[in-house]
Structure formats: C-alpha cells, structure tokens
Amino acid sequence: MDDLPLAHARSYKFGLLAILAAALAASLSAAERLNVTVTHALSIARPAETISVPWARVAALLPGAQIYHLEVKDAAGHVLPFQVTNIAPTLKDATGKGAAYGELLFQHDFAAGEKSAGFTIEKIAAITPPFPVKAFARFVPERLDDFAWENDKIAHRIYGPGLAAPAPAGSDKEVLVSSGIDVWCKRVSYPIVDRWYNKGHNFFHKFDLSEGMDMYGVGQTRGCGGTGIWDGHQLFVARNYQTWKVLENGPVRAVFELTYEAWDAGGGLKVAETKRFTVEAGHNLDQMDSTFTVTAGSVSELTVAVGLDKNPTDKGQDPKTDFTTVTTDGSLAQWIVQKTHGDLATAVVMSASAFRGYAEDEHNRLVLAKATPGQPLHYLIGAGWSFAGEFTTERAWTDYVAACAARMRSPVTVTLGATP
C-alpha cells in the first residue's frame, strides 16, 4: 500500500472500512435466537405437551443453525431436551448438501390455566450433549420377531411372523397367530424393554423386581387397541405383522410403521393395513394412524373396530372389570381391579370425525369408526397401572382419558419470531 498514490490509498482504506462495516452490520443483524410462542384454548393442564417447529422455519430464521449446536430454553432459562427428526425432510443446509430434516421437537408441562408459554431456540458454540432417551422402539429378532416399544410411562409389544410360523417337527417352538397389542406395565421411568428381553421376558410374568410386570394376556384378542373390520355382526382381523420400519427413535418421540398382509374381511372383501405408531415421552396413550387398502372387492368406506380385551388378566387374579364409554369423546376406558397385581387400565380414543359408536364380540369391547381406504384413521390407544403411582383410582384414569381426548381435539398453536 506504501507504493500506491495517496488518493488511491485513501480510497482503498475507505473501501476496506466500508466492507468491514457492512460485514459487522450483517453479523449484528443476523438472527441468533428464535422466539417461540405456544398457545392453546383449554383450561386443563397439558403435561408433556410436544411442541413441533418445522426445521425449514428454523433454518430460514436462524441461518447457519446446526442441530448439534442448538439450545432450547423455556421462559425461566431452563435448557430443554429436544429432537430433530428426518421424517418428510423439507430443507437442506445452506450449501444444498448434507442431511435434510423435518421437525424440531421439545416438550412443556402446561399447568391448568396456563394458555401461553414462551421459548427460545438459540445457536451456541458448544456441542449439544445427548439427552436421555424417553421414547424407544425396536425389532426383536431374538424373540420370534416381536416388535417392542416404550416411553417413560408404559411399554408394549406386538407379534411378528416368527411367532406365527409353524413349529418344526419335534420342537417346542411357541406358535401364536395374533395382531393384538400387548402391554408391559412399568413402575420406573427408565427403559426396560432390552433389560427384560435379556433376562427372559417370561420371568416377568411371575415376578416384579420393582420395575414392573408382563401381566397382560393378549392371545387372539385385540389386546390393547388392535384393529379389525366390523361387518355389523362379526370382527375380521389380520394375522401377525409382516414388515416393520423405524422412522424416529427418541429422545422425545419414536415413530414406526408395521404392515399387515391383506386378510378376509367378509363378503368377498380383502383388506391390508399399515399402522403408524407415534410414541411420545410423558404419555400413556400413543397416537395411531391406520391406513387401510382394499385389495379385493370394492367399497368407498370401511367400518373399522379398535378393541380392548375384555379379560386380559392372569389366572387367579379374580378380576373386577369396568368399562366407561364417553360418546362425545369417542372414548372407551377399561379399569380392572386385580387380586394382587394392582389395577390395570387401558383405553381407546377415536377422532371425533370418524367415531361411529360401540360394539362387542365374545372377547373384545370395540370402538367403531368409519375409514376411507387409502386415508389414515387417527386415534389413541394405551394403558396405565396403579402400581406406577399415577393412576390409583378409576376416576383418575377416566379423567386422564378425557383430557387426552380434549387435547386431541384442540392442538396447540406455535408462533415464531427471530431476534438478533
């Protein structure tokens, strides 16, 4: 620069200063924090409400945001666990390369009367540590193709093709053809599925080592929320699931799909089903989306039944069972008093637009719904246990089911705004 004429040197300096000033202004104006406001219309509490922010919006309002350099905080400054999904990816990074993401998820406990809450999503220099996994699902090939899932409240499993396969000659292989849904009752919030399979799940039929029990009996019933096609008199059901796919796996939410081969649904009709399970931390009821495909025959509408086993308890428990129906909620709640194993609770909540009443057969109480082939039917299923400490009376369970129905009808609203 010493060799430049004075006018050129001054011009260079001013140009450099202008560039630096523009860069500084740009850095100061670039958003580093995303403000999130969540509102809802209910007066009831909404514990463990899952809040979803599209990653496309995060990336647009927080340029350069990276999932391992983010922090989510509530209004009090508490750091919240979060999850970024890759279902239905909407946006790649600024270079057009790398992974594409779907949603950023976190949770908040809305107290009764708390209808609005604020949060921030911030870019940070430090690495984001992993959060404890509270929702988990996996294929279990070591146990005849079971598929199992759990959160911090309850666990379930469903039966695969390995269990339905005939036993080889001379073997003692278990055989069960059933698309019913099993329940594993938990006392603890930490994951138990792998621990119980490692121990041998049959051990937990008889013993509770302060973690819980596998006391629920499914057999060929609908268990806790299995589906079927109802013709007005008879229930037609699928065999064991055929394929599985895990789409998300915690820490906040697990999502997976199971497919069922077409089965006879009466009157020359054959129907196949894909179930999508959405399992969120902090909830006893899972979100379900069942999509039915007609493979033989022709109908514009199906009558689907979602069922609860009338008598799922172990022998010797002398069960006393009560069912509660709430037509306005499209719900069916079951409460079973057992002799020594505590009180067992299950429930189904159907979406209001699909609900068509109730029915029953020899083994199941049923919630009926109208479903259009090719379009998902949305409903909730799940269970609770008195020994877990949260639902110690039937009223506590039916109140919880009613609250879940209200939350399903009235979702939260999320509003975003960025600040420098």
- Residues 264-292: pLDDT tens digits? 999 999 999 999 999 999 999 999 999 99
Could you tell me the two tokens for 286?
Answer: 């899972």
DSSP 8-state code for residue 196: H
- pLDDT given for residue 30 in this prediction: 54
Residue pair 196/184 in contact by the 8 Å Cβ criterion? yes
Residue pair 36/121 in contact by the 8 Å Cβ criterion? yes
264-283 burial string, b = 16+ CB within 10 Å, else e? Answer: ebbeebbbbbbbbbbbbbbb
Would you say residue 93 has pLDDT above 60? no
CA-wise closest residue to 279 among 397, 160, 183, 149: 149
330-356 per-position pLDDT tens digit:
999 999 999 999 999 999 999 999 999
Beta strands in 12-81 (DSSP E): 33-39, 46-54, 70-74, 79-80
Average pLDDT over residues 29-56: 92
Neighbours of 193 (CB within 10 A): 21
- pLDDT given for residue 87 in this prediction: 78
The three-state secondary structure class of 304 is strand
Question: What is the Cα–Cα distance from 336 to 318, expressed in whole angstroms?
Answer: 10
- pLDDT given for residue 52 in this prediction: 97
Summary mean pLDDT of the chain? 90
Q: Could you tell me which residue, 212 or 30, shows the higher pLDDT?
A: 212
| Residues ≥6 apart with Cβ < 8 Å to 83 | 104, 105, 106, 131, 248, 250, 251, 252, 253
List the domains of the chain with CATH numbers. 33-131+411-419 (2.60.40.1180), 135-389 (2.70.98)
Q: Please state the pTM of the whole predicted model.
A: 0.90
Rounded to 5°, the CA angle 396-400-406 comes to 145
Question: What is the Cα–Cα distance from 107 to 117, expressed in whole angstroms?
Answer: 11
Beta strands in 223-266 (DSSP E): 224-230, 235-236, 243-249, 253-264
Would you say residue 1 has pLDDT above 60? no
Sheet order of strands, 33-39 included: 79-80, 70-74, 116-123, 33-39, 413-419
121: which strand partners?
A: 34, 72
Question: What is the Cα–Cα distance from 270 to 298, expressed in whole angstroms?
Answer: 9
Average pLDDT over residues 244-251: 96
Rounded to 5°, the CA angle 290-310-391 comes to 85
Question: What is the Cα–Cα distance from 278 to 331, expressed in whole angstroms?
Answer: 19
Could you tell me the two tokens for 82?
Answer: 């979060």
Residue pair 288/351 in contact by the 8 Å Cβ criterion? no
